[in-house]
Amino acid sequence: MTHWLLVRGRGEKPLDRHVDAARIQTQGSSKRPSVQVGDRAILYAAVWQAIYGVADVVGDPENDPSRSRWAWSYPIRPVTVVADLDNAPPVEAAGIFPQSLWRHSHIRLSDEQFESARKLIEAAA
C-alpha cells in the first residue's frame, strides 16, 4: 500500500469552506497517476493549504480522451473528513510543505507523513 496526498481545488476554483463528504467520489489528474486500488490518501485543499480528509483509492485510473485537462480520474472513498475547512489542520503540521505541491495533482507520502496527517485530521473531525 502506498500513501498519497491528493491536491484538490485550485486557485481559479478553490474548494468551498463547507465540505460535503458525500460529494468526494473521484480524483482527477492531468497525467496517468501512479495510484492503485487499496492505496490510502490524505486530501489537501490547495488554496486553504490545509489537510481535511483521509480517503481510500477504490478503483483503477481511467482515461477520458475527450478531455483536454484532467483526462485521468479514479474513484476514491472518504474515510474521515473535516466538514469545515476553517477547522482543518495546516498541511505543514504533518511535515508536508506547500511549495512541494505546486503543479501536482498527487504526491507520494512517507508512512510517517501519512500517519501524522491522519491523526491531525481525525482530531479535527
Single-letter code of the amino acid located at 102: W
Residue whose grid cell is 501512479: 34
List the grid coordinates of 49. 493549504
Tens-digit pLDDT profile for the chain (125 aa)?
Answer: 999 999 999 878 899 999 999 999 999 998 899 999 999 999 999 999 999 999 999 999 999 989 888 899 999 999 999 999 999 999 999 998 877 666 778 889 999 999 999 999 999 99
- The domain that holds 40 is classified in CATH as 3.10.590.10
Structural domain containing residue 71: 3-124
- Do the Cβ atoms of 44 and 51 come closer than 8 Å? yes
As for how many domains the chain has, the answer is: 1
